[in-house]
Amino acid sequence: MARDKTSITGNIPAVVTPFDENGQIDIAAFTGLIEWHLSRGVDGICVAGDNGESWSLSADERKQLTDEAARTIDARVPLVVGATATSNQESAEHAAMAAEAGANAILLMPQTYVLKASQNELVARFALVADATDIPVIFYNSPRRAGLDISMEQLAAICEVAPIVGIKESSRDFFHTTHLLEHFGEKIAVFIGPCHYILPGLALGAAGFIATGPELLPPESMRRILTVGREAPGAEYAKLHFQLTALYETLMRLGTWPSSLKAALELLGRSAGVVREPILPLDGDAVAKLRTALIRIGVIH
């Protein structure tokens, strides 16, 4: 199946969905965050993913976010839209909506909450979405969320039935990431998810990252990640690697995701809104710990 692995690469932040105190989407804050990311020199934008609390979005809200993102970006960088749903049919509907809105690709996980899906079930899911629209697909491998870790054989079978142009690899097993880069790095764009794998992943040929944490670094540091990751390791490599690792550990340790990211954005002066129930915002003690960690890492002063 024809695909172009070079069309979407680099630093693609997953944007949070700001909600107001009444649980409604704050569109002004959302478009403001997109403009902020663009001003910092990112290579793409991803909306309605995990950071965007996609599990809480109605179909109409997902469409609203996608339309607003497409309008705000105005083709300056590629737009990736999360299309994951429990049912295959709903995922296909999300994919068709994203294509109609002008998105460049969708981000799609295996069937969530259906643990240990068989290879036939995995292939059928992606085939159904591919039949619904020809929009390019970035496979999202997140074993902690999907309940399974995609194998090389399973990914190869999925690539036969769907226009897979990339994979967001969020396994915390670097053996797995290494094999993925070895076997698929020349065929599809491999994006690193966990921050502490970004630099070694880039050194091994990853096309970029769809990660959480880089957006909190000073813009000059964030823009250096791709370059430094592809150079021979040195002092700057080590500093960025330690910063990214500390950011990822801190954000994942405090609160239920993505409450810590929203709190961190607020500490940077960016309006990120509140989280939507059943998630609770960070309490005062956790925010204080987050502030201390961000000061130690060098993100805020």
| Domain extent listing, the chain | 10-230
Q: Are 51 and 258 in contact (CB under 8 A)?
A: yes
Q: Give tens-digit pLDDT for 72-91.
A: 999 999 999 999 998 999 99
Ramachandran bin of 89, using left for φ above 0, alpha for ψ from -120 to 50, beta for the remaining angles: alpha
Q: Are 190 and 165 in contact (CB under 8 A)?
A: no
**What burial class does residue 21 get, using C-beta atoms within 10 Å of its C-beta: 0-12 exposed, 13-18 middle, 19+ buried?**
exposed
Token code pair at residue 114:
């259906």
Q: Are 104 and 58 in contact (CB under 8 A)?
A: no
For the chain, give the mean pLDDT: 92
Q: What is the reported pLDDT for 5?
A: 47
Q: Which residues are CB-contacts of 204 (< 8 A; sequence separation ≥ 6)?
A: 178, 181, 185
Distance from the Cα of residue 250 to its chain's centroid? 18
Q: Which residues are CB-contacts of 93 (< 8 A; sequence separation ≥ 6)?
A: 59, 85, 132
SS3 of 162, please?
A: coil
Does pLDDT of 4 surpass 60?
A: no
Q: Are 5 and 187 in contact (CB under 8 A)?
A: yes
Does pLDDT of 301 surpass 90?
A: no
Does pLDDT of 113 surpass 70?
A: no
Q: Which has more pLDDT, 114 or 235?
A: 235
User: How far is 31 from 69, CA to CA, in rounded Å?
Assistant: 7
SS3 of 104, please?
A: coil
User: How far is 116 from 172, CA to CA, in rounded Å?
Assistant: 18
Q: What is the reported pLDDT for 1?
A: 44
User: How far is 69 from 63, CA to CA, in rounded Å?
Assistant: 10
Whole-prediction pTM value? 0.88
User: How far is 81 from 104, CA to CA, in rounded Å?
Assistant: 8
**10-230 maps to which CATH number?**
3.20.20.70
Token code pair at residue 67:
């339309």
Q: Is the peptide bond before 278 cis (omega within 30 degrees of 0)?
A: yes
